[in-house]
Structure 1
Amino acid sequence: MNDVVTAGLIEAGLIAAEASLDHLSDQSTWAEGPCWIPESQRLRWSDIIGNRVMEWSWETGETVVQLAGAEHANGRILDRNGDVVQCSHGRRRVERVRGDEITSIVSDWQGVRLNSPNDLVVTRDGAVWFTDPDYGLTSPGEGHPGDLEYDDHWVFRIDEATGDYRPVILDADRPNGLVFSPDESILYIADSGTADIRAYDVVNGHRCKDSRIFAKIESGVPDGMRVDEHGNLWSTHRHGVIVFAPDATEIGRIAIPEVTANLCWGGPTGQTLFFTATTGLYRLETLTRDAHLRR
């Protein structure tokens, strides 16, 4: 029996029985925000407390510092043009990375600063949805101490093309990871304040209704999440990853030997699942892909 993957994932045809977990790097302090960069065939991630952005090369297996003094960058994703959009704890903003240039997308709400944007997604219409808990203000080494200037922790949506910018979820305690169902009709939020994964119906592409608990994590809290092409939700927790079917039934688990923060698919075929976990970067070959992966 595979000691990394539980039987349910094998029986569901999501991971092969012989799949093994590869440890790719151990150079981080608190590894987060993985993103596959197709152009360079590299996996980019944040060492938040180390205040660096790291990259691992598929071709050489080498880990390098992509950017030092990164202002405690966290989650990142590719936008519709293939540019990296990322969250900055230190700058309290969402920003775009294009080559060596980093520019602000949004840093305030109605004249007061955001808390510390944590994770984000880009929908088919090009809008950026992001979570804004306070970890960059309150967790040592993850940003700069500061105040909650709008006095809460919300999820926002910004459409740069139209200028439409609004909070879309106000009832989560500390919204963290977020991901959409394959058809973008449901938004899932990892609430690390309550250890719940919440689900919301998305109306007209920009409003969230019918808040409900999708699943509760009993070991640690949910953090980064992804949804595969079948609609299954893959959520990190203290000891690795839990995979849920669209009806919230648990399919199985992946054991990772460090506290696991986030995950993403990538690799040449799109079926390699990468994990950021405390000091390490890991990978596991799967038999599925991200429902939203751009390659």
Structure 2
Amino acid sequence: MSMVGNHLEYCDRRFYELTVPIAPLETLHTGSRWAEGPVWIADGGYLIWSDIPNNRMLRWVPDLGVGVYRINANYSNGNTRDREGRLVSCEHGGRRVTRTEWDGRITVLADRYDGRRLNAPNDVVVKSDGSIWFTDPTYGILSDYEGFKAPQEQDGCYVFRLDPVTGDLRVVADDFVKPNGLAFSPDESILYVADSGATHDDNGPHHIRAFAVGDDGRLSRPRVFAEVSPGVPDGFRVDVEGNVWTSARDGVLCYAPDGALLGKILIPQMVSNLTFGGVRRNQLFITATSTLYTLNLGIAGAGRA
């Protein structure tokens, strides 16, 4: 293991090709209570992220800085964009997944399953066929800090797939303790899902699992892809070569597609989530407790912005 500067830790030589050793870790903004859900808006050239306890969403614009994107954001958490470029958000406060239309209207995509309210949708990703996949742990209903304390109505914490055309909502995985971040491999043949159950149980899971994705949207052949330590995996993203960049207590871990730990970006605060962005999609944006950081990499993120 070797260090470059004070923020890059190398465990495998492959990590040198993915990073820029001289690139500084930059602080773009601080002052959130729990920063989460970053999403890059490529056609606008800016980043949006959630500040959950402050019940707002913030926006960073290069050369202009940070402003409030949305107040009374229903304690939004994870964010992404659909195939038409519209913002899709997980809301703790409304216990729902919503879409922001081009005219600013909010469309509710899912708020109930089997006639009962969802727990607190956490993170979300959209597949190339337009289907919306999201996780539904209970973090947003455990207290009044990140939502509204309320009893759990669902029998478990599930991973869901939503067909936005038909409205069909189905459970694709039901054996997680606290399903959290999720992302597809570049060819969408694999779905990675974090289980952060150790946040409320010392013996709980703190790993990322991988599933084979069928043409019909069903998941099969589950396996543990990586055990994340210290802390738990929260949000994560995949680059164009299939490497998984995930949050951890002390930074961002990078795993090769074969599960080998390649290296780490050390961050002064607990990391919650991250996303790729910038003109070439090789700029990593990292939300960590109260702060938004950025670091230029030697590789681009997979998918569209």
What are the equivalent positions in structure 2 for 1:95-174 lying under 5 Å apart? 95-98=98-101, 99-174=103-178
What does residue 200 of structure 2 align with? Answer: none
Deviates more, 1:7-16 or 1:88-97: 7-16
What does residue 179 of structure 2 align with? Answer: 175
What does residue 23 of structure 2 align with? Answer: 19
What does residue 47 of structure 1 align with? Answer: 51
Aligned equivalent of 2:68, options 65, 70, 83: 65
What are the equivalent positions in structure 2 for 1:214-293 lying under 5 Å apart? 214-293=225-304
CA deviation profile, 1:121-151 (whole Å, cap 9, x unmatched): 0001000000000000004410011121122
Q: Distance in 2 between matches of 1:32 and 1:205?
A: 31
Q: Distance in 1 between matches of 2:263 and 2:61?
A: 29
The Cα shift of 1:27 comes to 2.2
The structure-2 alpha-carbon separation of the partners of 1:293 and 1:6, relative to structure 1 and needing over 3 Å to count, comes to: farther
- Match of 2:113, as an amino acid? W
Structure 1 position 4 matched with structure 2 position 7: yes
Q: Distance in 2 between matches of 1:139 and 1:293?
A: 35
Q: Distance in 2 between matches of 1:81 and 1:32?
A: 23
Assess if the C-alpha contact under 8 Å between 2:194 and 2:233 holds in 1: yes
The Cα shift of 1:11 comes to 4.7
Q: Distance in 2 between matches of 1:238 and 1:205?
A: 36
Q: How many residues align?
A: 293
What is the percent sequence identity of the aligned residues?
44
Assess if the C-alpha contact under 8 Å between 1:179 and 1:189 holds in 2: yes
Unaligned runs of 5+ in 1: none
Q: Distance in 2 between matches of 1:9 and 1:19?
A: 18
What does residue 87 of structure 1 align with? Answer: 90
The structure-2 alpha-carbon separation of the partners of 1:11 and 1:239, relative to structure 1 and needing over 3 Å to count, comes to: closer
The Cα shift of 1:39 comes to 2.7
The structure-2 alpha-carbon separation of the partners of 1:243 and 1:139, relative to structure 1 and needing over 3 Å to count, comes to: farther
What does residue 211 of structure 1 align with? Answer: 222
User: With structure 1 as the length reference, what TM-score do the two structures score?
Assistant: 0.96
Instruction: Name the SS for the 1:6 alignment partner.
Output: strand
Q: Distance in 1 between matches of 2:240 and 2:289?
A: 27
Assess if the C-alpha contact under 8 Å between 1:41 and 1:59 holds in 2: no
- Match of 2:155, as an amino acid? D
Instruction: Name the SS for the 2:272 alignment partner.
Output: strand
The Cα shift of 1:59 comes to 3.3
The Cα shift of 1:182 comes to 0.8
CA RMSD of aligned residues (A): 1.3
Q: Distance in 2 between matches of 1:33 and 1:83?
A: 15
The Cα shift of 1:205 comes to 4.3
The Cα shift of 1:206 comes to 0.6
CA deviation profile, 1:176-234 (whole Å, cap 9, x unmatched): 00011111111111100010111111112410111211111120100001010000001
